[in-house]
Amino acid sequence: MLFAVAAAAEVAAVFRGLRCGGREIPPEWGSVVVTSGVEVLRTGVGKANACGAVARLLDPRVHGLVLSIGVAGSLPLSPPLAIGAVVAASTIVIADEGVEGPQGFQSLASLGFPPLLGGDTLAPPEWVLRWLRGFGLHVGAIATVSTCSGTDAGARRVAQRTGAVAEGMEGAGVALAAVHAGVAFGEVRIISNTTGDRDRQEWRLTDALEQLAATVGEVAKRLN
């Protein structure tokens, strides 16, 4: 399995979950082989970094599954996910690539340039989702954004047009690289903050990172 992780603090949490917390955190686009079956890649933040780093490393002969994992913001669906909740992506939506015009947002797919034949949405293989459900996680759509929602109106727009329960910045990049390499993929996010007006957002990043470590620990147990 390949864990694709964006930021240094998230990589440190993943290492704690894998019981190798003393390891040096790799540079962006660098990886560490933890065991013969587990490798951790630090992609850097954003879907361009994520797609490039995963595409550069991913080897179908070595990696049977790539899991994008990290923290995320909770979008304002009703009821919104609480901070600390762990969610697996039923679908991964490319949320903000397209055109913003007077009539609203038009996605790449609606403009005739779908990132894949499936349009702007990528669905993990059913067996991956079944496996992740076994951890008792919340399951829902996760939006991949290049611009995080820092206003109430922006957060509502992302939630309404995608149906996503959370937004992250790397999942779709990881998924696109995996699809083109013929490798199974999934996404798991721990809610670290609310979205909406930046001055009123609630953040509990330290708690979310501890939950990330615990979640990775549970995943690792199932790999043994």
Domain ranges within the chain, ordered by starting residue: 2-223
Compute the distance between CA of residue 60 and CA of residue 54 in angstroms, rounded to an integer.
12
Contact between residue 191 and residue 75 where contact means Cβ atoms under 8 Å apart: no
Distances (CA, A) of 84 to 62, 73, 139, 193: 32, 10, 14, 9
The chain-wide mean pLDDT, for the chain, equals 95
Please give the average per-residue pLDDT across 125-147, as a whole number. Answer: 95
Q: Which DSSP string corresponds to 77-90?
A: -SSPPPTT-EEEEE
Distances (CA, A) of 203 to 5, 47, 71, 74, 82: 20, 22, 11, 11, 11
Please give the average per-residue pLDDT across 71-79, as a whole number. Answer: 94
Compute the distance between CA of residue 78 and CA of residue 96 in angstroms, rounded to an integer.
22
CATH of domain 2-223: 3.40.50.1580
User: Would you place residue 162 in the very low, low, confident or very high pLDDT band (cuts 50, 70, 90)?
Assistant: very high
The predicted structure's pLDDT at residue 221? 87
Residue 1 has pLDDT above 90, yes or no: yes
Residue 156 has pLDDT above 70, yes or no: yes
| Sign, CA torsion 185/36/28/5 | positive
Q: pLDDT tens across 11-23, in order?
A: 999 999 999 988 9
Please give the average per-residue pLDDT across 201-207, as a whole number. Answer: 97
Share of the chain above pLDDT 70, in %: 100
The predicted structure's pLDDT at residue 30? 98
Compute the distance between CA of residue 40 and CA of residue 31 in angstroms, rounded to an integer.
5
Please give the average per-residue pLDDT across 138-144, as a whole number. Answer: 97
Best CA proximity match to 171, nearest among 86, 48, 80: 48
**Whether the model pTM is above 0.85:** yes
Compute the distance between CA of residue 57 and CA of residue 26 in angstroms, rounded to an integer.
14
Please give the average per-residue pLDDT across 198-209, as a whole number. Answer: 97
The predicted structure's pLDDT at residue 224? 67
Residue 122 has pLDDT above 90, yes or no: yes
The predicted structure's pLDDT at residue 105? 92
Contacts for 203 with CB less than 8 Å, ≥ 6 apart: 192, 193, 194
Residue 76 has pLDDT above 70, yes or no: yes
The predicted structure's pLDDT at residue 78? 85
Residue 103 has pLDDT above 90, yes or no: no
Q: pLDDT tens across 164-187, in order?
A: 999 999 999 999 999 999 999 999
Share of the chain above pLDDT 90, in %: 89
